[in-house]
Amino acid sequence: MKKDFFVLLQELKKIKDEEIKRKILSEAVSYLFSVIPPDDILKENSDGTWNYLNRQLTIDEISQIKQEATEIRKMILWKVINTDIQYQIGIKIWKEGKVDGDLFWGQIATWLWDIIKTRISRI
């Protein structure tokens, strides 16, 4: 296996096109860490169609997703969870944090929560 790695590494070094190298490495890292490819996330296309898990959604599926996102935003539980998460992150960062890494992880948690809220609000 070690020999195979060095053979592949030498072949990669022979490639002059940096974009191709990046694509190869990106695929390798995605495979290694089971990264979700961009075609598998929900995407609204410029023509109004939506794709998810590398397939085009039906009009009924799009309507259902929009309706569910609206329902989530209206839920009291959503507001409770939002407030609770912001509170818990603040506690972890400012009161319980002991090292710089605690601040870093708190920022990541805040960032991830923002991704969730933004995603739901944009649907």
Which residues lie across from 51 on neighbouring strands?
43, 56
Q: Is residue 1 predicted with pLDDT exceeding 80? A: no
Give the closest residue to 48 by CA, choosing from 64, 59, 37.
59
pLDDT in tens, 37-81: 788 899 999 999 999 998 999 999 999 999 999 999 999 999 999
Give the closest residue to 39 by CA, choosing from 52, 29, 49, 27.
52
Q: How buried is residue 59: exposed, middle or buried, by Cβ count under 10 Å (0-12/13-18/19+)?
A: exposed
pLDDT in tens, 86-112: 999 888 888 888 887 888 888 899 999
**Extended strands (E) in the chain:** 43-44, 50-52, 55-56
The more confidently predicted of residues 3 and 1 is: 3
The more confidently predicted of residues 121 and 32 is: 121
96 DSSP assignment: S
Task: Look at the pTM and tell me if it is higher than 0.75.
Answer: no
Q: How far apart are CA 43 and CA 38, in angstroms?
A: 9
Q: Is residue 118 predicted with pLDDT exceeding 70? A: yes
